Structure 1
Amino acid sequence: MLCEPRTARRARLLVSAALHTWNLSDLVETGMLMVSELVGNSVQHTACRLIHVSVRRIAIDRVRIGVTENSSRLPEMGGGESGREGGRGLFLVEVMGDRWGYDLHRRGKTVWVELVVEGGEKPGLA
């Protein structure tokens, strides 16, 4: 996907489709917000041309949403001061996700957030 603001819409659709496929409708709203924030951070804070969005069911009780890009600039938690536009992306990810982090690669990184699946049911097939 191109590293541009309109990519967030495609990323939200991807997350929504994956979560609905796994019968995790209760996570769709949070998942779409999380991927929007991660894509937004890549667009705003890096000079990347392309990003890769992933949604994985890494455990029965856990979904991981990640955005990979070629920038090695580490993510920074903004202050989230009231009245200030921006700076709240990772703060929202911190508060609404179960945990978040990043994995460095030879060329770039993946910033990810994990959501907890209540009840930990096996993924459904659609």
Structure 2
Amino acid sequence: MIVLVTLGQEVLRESHHAAGRTSALTAVAVSYAETLPRVPESARSARRLASSALSAWGLEGARDAAQLVVSELVANAFMHASGPRVRVTVTRQDRASVRLVVTDDDPRAMSTDRSADDQAESGRGLKLVAALCDGRWGFDVLTHGKSVWAVFTEAQ
């Protein structure tokens, strides 16, 4: 597991100095990331990564939904992508929200309009993802792959 720290632009609070000056502190975006083999068993490691990040940030209220979504996104990468690995990143965006991203090596855009009949064994995953993150999800096509992401808040 890799923990990344990047500087953001958002001001979280003001810092008051003894000399009476006030300065703004920029937000620090902390990310937990792990590159995993593109195999079904990687869903377990992805759930563990998401759980660890949310626990570290005190956002346990989003844990169940995040674990279900990361499992679905890793499973989709296994089923539909190419390449030997996926990258899972969990980034704290602000005090109450987290962005979960699964990146694979397949640059093909996703089909988001799949529907499944009552007897189908697959085809419902992205509807589940949308429901669990209140519709705040999407994907970005990259030069050498794509990233599928979802945003959670603790209140969900």
| Superposition TM-score, scaled by structure 1 size | 0.88
Kept in 1, the 8 Å contact 2:130–2:137? The answer is yes
Matched residue, 1:83: 119
Instruction: Could you tell me which runs of 5 or more consecutive residues in structure 2 were left unpaired when the two chains were aligned.
Output: 1-35
Matched residue, 2:109: 74
User: What is the CA–CA distance in structure 1 between the aligned matches of 2:67 and 2:76, rounded to whole Å?
Assistant: 14
CA 1:61–1:25 in 2, change beyond 3 Å: closer, same or farther?
closer
1:92 aligns with 2:128: yes
Choose the corresponding residue for 1:35, options 45, 56, 70.
Answer: 70
| Greater mean deviation of Cα atoms: 35-44 or 95-104 | 95-104
CA displacement 1:63-118 (0-9 Å, x = unmatched) = 11000111012122321432211111111111111300112221111100111233
Kept in 1, the 8 Å contact 2:89–2:101? The answer is yes
Q: After TM superposition, list the pairs within 5 Å mapping 1:5-84 onto structure 2.
A: 5-77=40-112, 78-84=114-120
Q: Which structure has more RCO (C-alpha within 8 Å, separation ≥ 6)?
A: 1
CA displacement 1:26-80 (0-9 Å, x = unmatched) = 1111110000000011000112211000000112232110001110121223214
Matched residue, 1:110: 147
Instruction: Could you tell me which runs of 5 or more consecutive residues in structure 1 were left unpaired when the two chains were aligned.
Output: 119-126
Report the 3-state secondary structure (helix = DSSP H, G, I; strand = E; otherwise coil) of the residue aligned with 1:66.
strand
Q: Which has the higher strand share?
A: 2
Kept in 2, the 8 Å contact 1:76–1:90? The answer is no
User: Letter of the aligned partner of 2:121 in structure 1?
Assistant: E
CA RMSD of aligned residues (A): 1.2
Kept in 2, the 8 Å contact 1:60–1:117? The answer is no
Q: Which has the higher helix share?
A: 1
Identity of aligned pairs, percent? 36
Kept in 1, the 8 Å contact 2:99–2:149? The answer is yes
User: What is the CA–CA distance in structure 1 between the aligned matches of 2:121 and 2:79, rounded to whole Å?
Assistant: 13
| Superposition TM-score, scaled by structure 2 size | 0.72
